[in-house]
Structure 1
Amino acid sequence: MKKVAQMRQVVQQWKESGLTQKAYCEKIGVKRTTFANWVARSRENAGVGFIAVKPQVKPISESIEVIYPNGVRLKINASHIPVLSELIRLA
């Protein structure tokens, strides 16, 4: 087992033990400062990774059309309002 995996396993066992860090360190024979470092490192790495997110947005089928005074027409799906906003700013 890799050292990092062992560290995480020891920290998880401590959490499940209900003991204080000091008592747990005495029980397993690890210096308190070393163990505190392991706990901090396990917290830093707890949120590493990606979670798939699927938007809960229903597609809009309506179209929006903008007609400029010079005759230029922009027709865009209403679900692309941010794109339309950018196009209007560019004109």
Structure 2
Amino acid sequence: MELKAAAAARGSFIAEWAREVLLCEARTRRFDAAVITEVVALRMLVSTVLRSIALRETLTPEAFTQILSDVRSGKHDATRDVLNQYQATAREQ
């Protein structure tokens, strides 16, 4: 019933509506992954810099450059970890 109602709201048959929804999802998936990866990278950067500030460490330009390099090289693995955590939580519910 819900699918039929959703299709009717757009003035199309279920098959047409489903095709549009699936194509939209397929086309935006890469963009979503890139956005999530960059959000995780920002979280990594901010938490690392804030840790240095909280510990009253001097953040030299070289140290900051190294942090940026570490974020760039680790952001994909960190994103996989975050997504796996969300998937595990979703399975538990």
Q: TM-score normalized by structure 1?
A: 0.32
Of structures 1 and 2, the one scoring higher in RCO (CA 8 A, sep 6+) is 2
Higher Rg of the two aligned structures: 1
Larger proportion of strand: 1
